[in-house]
Amino acid sequence: MPVSTHHDGRNMTGRKPARGKASAAPSQAKPRPIGSPADVKRRAGQVVRVLKKEYPEVHCALVHSSPFELLVATILSAQCTDARVNIVTPPLFKKYPDPAAFAAAPLPAIEKAIQSTGFFRNKAKNIKAASTAIVDDYGGEVPKTLDELVGLAGVGRKTANVVLGVAFGQATGVVVDTHVGRLSRRLGLMTNDDAVKVEADLMAIIPKKEWIDFSHRLIAHGRQVCIARKPKCEVCVMNDFCPRIGVTA
């Protein structure tokens, strides 16, 4: 679900302060009360219902035709946009169509093919090692359990949850990327920054049957409306109940 993640810090208007005047610090929007654990769980239910209505048809943004292609694409998506990954993968999968092809490929050749996705040396090493393990230990098939997947090189809970949820329909957890973490904090669903803790918090308040699509919907909303630098609160479908934690006016 992969999928992947992006940064604040510059003047949002893009303009320089007028000469001779002090640059005003960004004002903090007055947050609404987050409430009790029961309030948070109730708000989580609101988020699920509203996003379900707003984004009824959701899917993984990473283009793939097999669980293995999804696995590789998700590894590539770390610190890289899905759009860039989708440019890189068609020729990559044409050249290396299966785990055996990646396992046999020279590491420098894989590095060159994925260079534009960033951190390409580490990604290439992990993809080759994971492919080798899939061939040697799993008969060339992507394993279907969380424990087996996270045992592969370059695969953490996020990647494993993407593959299991999208490719195999298994709700093993909530995919937490930058969008999911940012929106969950803004919505007052939790205060954690650590992705593993964010996932645990979300799993406790989101019904399991919603785990897979919830991430896709939150990611879609984060890309289109609740963007990092200047969220479009005025057109947000959750504006009536969102506490807007950390949003500057």
Of 82, 128, 158, 201, the active-site residue reads 158
**In the annotation, is 137 catalytic?**
no
Query: Which neighbouring-strand residues pair with 248?
Result: 28
What's the number of CA atoms in the CB half-sphere (13 Å) around residue 215?
A: 31
Residue 105 to residue 96: CA distance in whole angstroms:
8
**In the annotation, is 158 catalytic?**
yes
Instruction: Indicate the SS3 state at residue 28.
Output: strand
Of 82, 123, 128, 177, the active-site residue reads 177
Contacts of 116 (CB under 8 A, 6+ apart): 84, 87, 88
CB neighbour burial string for 194-220, b if at least 16 within 10 angstroms, e if fewer? ebeebbebbeebbeeebbbbbbbbbbb
Dihedral of the alpha carbons of 232, 234, 239, 243, in degrees to the nearest 10: 70
Dihedral of the alpha carbons of 216, 76, 194, 226, in degrees to the nearest 10: -40
Helix, strand, coil abundance in the chain, percent, nearest 5: 55, 0, 45
Residue 203 to residue 249: CA distance in whole angstroms:
31
Residues labelled catalytic:
158, 177
